[in-house]
Structure 1
Amino acid sequence: MSLPRSNYDPRRVCLNPFPDLHLGKYRRTVGVYLAGALFAIGNFVFFDAAVYSAHARVPWGVDPPVHVTFVDWVPGICSILGYLVVNLIDKDRIKGDEGFGDSRAVWRARLFLFIGFALMAGGLAGSVTVLVLKYVLSDYAEMFKYYGYANVTQNLLLMISAAFLWMAQSTSGEYEYNLTL
């Protein structure tokens, strides 16, 4: 099966292109607000689990067998650091546009971008590891497994939020003009 010549682009990787969302002149604003909402929801879910853990009472009158500890916080801290690193990088340096003077600036910017995404991926992998090792394999009641599910949810929403914010910041704004001489 071949594509019609009118739709063929030799730079395409996938056969079916990503759907084009036309949000008009507000697409940048919508992307930033959506990224902020995902960031807030992800952190709220984990903070809810931490507060719930601090005030948990088991119906049969003994202390709960597990609490949210520092080990549960480490993946979220890694993801937030990665989030900051990724979104503080100048997007023009990643593209390799000339005009920065330093030829190594593009390489350094791409290295920091990789480190930021590696921190977020490490945070997500760490949260899954904590979920499995601390909550699932220990065979706690379902109410205690919520702490691990909240940790994974936080890190997943932080990664999705970073992707939305990256795409929103890469689009041209309503008041931006590209002038060339």
Structure 2
Amino acid sequence: MSGQGPKLFRFPIPLPALPSSAHVRAAGVYLAGALFSLGFWFFVDSAIYSKKYNGSNVHVSFVDWIPGICSIFGIIVINSIDKARLSSDSSFSFGGSGVAWKARLVLFLGFALLAGGFAGSIVVLILKYIVPAYPWPTLYFGISNVIGNGLLMMSCIVMWISQNVEDEYSYSLSL
């Protein structure tokens, strides 16, 4: 009992052994890739079904793909920013070498593209498929668009978190 320090609880609670951050990072990257491919598959599946097997006059057009394109651009912008750049400046300055505010601005634009893509898919679902009251096989095109953009957003979140997990062997060289 002497080398353990003060206890928080009266009774001992076993803590699970956490995996190393390298394993968590790798699992996060694989999960993000799976979410991205599943989201993109929903887009492609609805487009193929619309062109080949749909009997109605409503098909997936470029308007349906615009939210997905915005989401993919948002993913590219968000995951291209290093998390260390977001807090590199200690003061807010518009001139000179203020890297942090520029990185925050670009990160905001990336999240705006991602959120705009998801919101755009909901708007396309409502205006193109729900308001005209199309039946289920045609309504699937709009629902798959929303599901695909949601999975792309989840992929971006998982990738951002997993790429910015601190490594236990990282060194801080600041003085």
* Both proteins in one fold, TM over 0.5: yes
State how far apart, in whole Å, the 2-side matches of 1:32 and 1:94 are.
Answer: 21
Relative to structure 1, the CA distance from residue 167 to residue 57 in structure 2 (aligned partners, 3 Å threshold; closer, same or farther) is closer
* CA RMSD in angstroms, aligned pairs only: 2.2
**Structure 1 match to 2:171:** 178
**Structure 1 match to 2:67:** 75
Among 85, 98, 101, the alignment partner of 2:77 is 85
Q: How does 1:6-85 map to 2 (within 5 A)?
A: 22-25=18-21, 26-58=23-55, 64-85=56-77
Unaligned ranges ≥5, structure 1: 1-5, 8-19, 59-63
State how far apart, in whole Å, the 1-side matches of 2:17 and 2:72 are.
Answer: 28
Structure exhibiting the larger radius of gyration computed from Cα positions: 2
State how far apart, in whole Å, the 2-side matches of 1:173 and 1:55 are.
Answer: 49
- 2:132 matched to 1:138? yes
Runs of 4+ in 1 over 6 A off after TM superposition: none
Provide the aligned length of Structure 1 versus Structure 2.
155
Report deviation, 1:154: 1.0
Relative to structure 1, the CA distance from residue 73 to residue 97 in structure 2 (aligned partners, 3 Å threshold; closer, same or farther) is same
The answer to whether the 8 A contact 2:54-2:138 is kept is no
Superposition TM-score, scaled by structure 2 size: 0.81
State how far apart, in whole Å, the 2-side matches of 1:21 and 1:128 are.
Answer: 41
Aligned-residue sequence identity (percent) comes to: 47
Unaligned ranges ≥5, structure 2: 1-6, 9-15, 91-95
State how far apart, in whole Å, the 2-side matches of 1:179 and 1:139 are.
Answer: 59
- 2:167 matched to 1:152? no
The answer to whether the 8 A contact 1:28-1:173 is kept is no
State how far apart, in whole Å, the 1-side matches of 2:19 and 2:153 are.
Answer: 22
**Structure 2 match to 1:17:** none
Superposition TM-score, scaled by structure 1 size: 0.79
- In structure 2, the residue corresponding to 1:22 is in which secondary structure? coil
State how far apart, in whole Å, the 2-side matches of 1:82 and 1:177 are.
Answer: 28
